[in-house]
Amino acid sequence: MTKYPPRDITPVTGEEWRHLGFYHELDLGRRSWCLYGSRSGLIGFARLVARYVETSARSPDARPLPLGPYGDFQIRLWERPGIDDASVYGSSDDLLRLAQLIESRLADTQPGEEVVIGPEYAGDVECVLVFEVMDDDFDPATAATPVPVEDLAPEPAAVSPRVAFTFHDPEGAEWEGLVHVEGADLVIQYEKKETTLDRVATFFGVDRSGVSDLIVPLSDVAVARFKRGVFGAKLTLQVNDIKLLEGVPRTKAGTIRLQFRRADRDAAANLSAAIDQLLGEARW
């Protein structure tokens, strides 16, 4: 009987493993990704690879596809084929070849058998894929010791640090604000930078200031492109529905470009990485 890898599964993550159809774990001793599932569940992995290729063909900026509730194993596009301790990767043709190889090798397997794929996919792989074929009624959520519900502490909504930014509207006015990720939303607070005219108006009792709040569900973000420069960084966001940015000064419908100072480049890069990860989870 196969010994399952030691990994806690909560009721929530258990449902995610069931939805995926198999369980996976990195075995550093064997330098392998071990996948546990019924034959049909493991073939589902091959079909996920093929589906990723099909979806990526429609998007030149395809992001990696994280698998499972932990997101520690991904499928991603790359110029050459390979398997490492974080992903399986390759060109579209490479990944399709891998999907076909996996499906053909698993076609006639029985519970208790093991299929190993590595060098036949890429000559020099850091890790191999080990498919452990289980019974047809195998439940991926049983692959580790469940955590009792009473021992679970409520998890707070994920909130990233706030990063200061500026942007300019079509008239050349400068705006400034803070941006952060909260749960599955991008939260942007912004206001127009005070000018001499604004200060004069305030002196005469006219309030020209005001902070606006914008909440954009990450599932509605079509493009998030980060560019790091010598003197700062830029994050371009394009949404699926231009109504989400209604009232926000911007240079193009449905698009806003946030600029970060040099001192905030690293924080902005971390923010962009968090957005990329959540976008991948939202789309798959």
Predicted local confidence at residue 194, as pLDDT: 61
Cβ-contact 77, 65 below 8 angstroms: no
Measured distance CA(250)–CA(8) in Å, rounded: 46
Residue 207 confidence (pLDDT):
46
Q: In this structure, are strands 32-38 and 163-168 parallel, antiparallel, or unpaired?
A: unpaired
**Residue that is last in its domain, among 151, 172, 187:** 151
Q: Are 121 and 65 within one domain?
A: yes
| Sign of the C-alpha dihedral computed for residues 26, 11, 143 and 55 taken in this order | negative
pLDDT at residue number 284: 47
Q: Is residue 135 part of a domain?
A: yes
Spatial CA neighbour of 132 closest among 152, 102, 111, 154:
111
Mean pLDDT, 10 residues at a time, the chain of 284 residues = 48 83 87 94 95 82 84 90 93 95 95 94 90 94 60 51 85 85 89 57 45 87 83 87 80 82 88 81 52
Indicate the pTM of the whole model. Answer: 0.52
pLDDT in tens, 184-198: 889 999 888 765 444
- Are 178 and 242 contained in the same domain? yes
The DSSP output letter for 258 is E
23 lies in the same domain as 142: yes
For residue 273, what is the domain's CATH number?
2.30.29
In a domain, 2, yes or no: no
Q: Does 229 map to a domain?
A: yes
Alpha-helix residue ranges (DSSP H) falling in 75-182: 92-106
In a domain, 1, yes or no: no
Residue 138 shares a structural domain with residue 243: no
Q: Which of 151, 184, 206 is the last residue of a domain?
A: 151
What is the span of the domain harbouring residue 179? 163-283
DSSP 59: -
User: How far apart (Å, rounded) are the C-alpha atoms in residues 85 and 91?
Assistant: 18
196 and 144 in a common domain: no
Q: If 0-12 CB within 10 Å is exposed, 13-18 middle and 19+ buried, where does residue 284 land?
A: middle
- Which of 151, 173, 201 marks a domain boundary? 151
Structural domain tally of the chain? 2
Residue 4 lies in a domain: no
Rounded to 10 deg, the angle between the 92-106 and 39-56 helix axes is 170
H helix or E strand, kind and range, residue 142:
none
Phi, psi of 95 (to 5 degrees): -70, -35
Q: Is 188 found in the same domain as 138?
A: no
Strands annotated E in the chain: 23-27, 32-38, 65-67, 73-77, 82-83, 87-90, 114-117, 128-134, 163-168, 174-182, 185-192, 212-217, 221-228, 232-239, 255-261
The pLDDT value given to residue 56: 85
Alpha carbon distances (Å) from 134 to 3, 41, 115, 142: 12, 9, 12, 12
Does any domain span residue 5? no
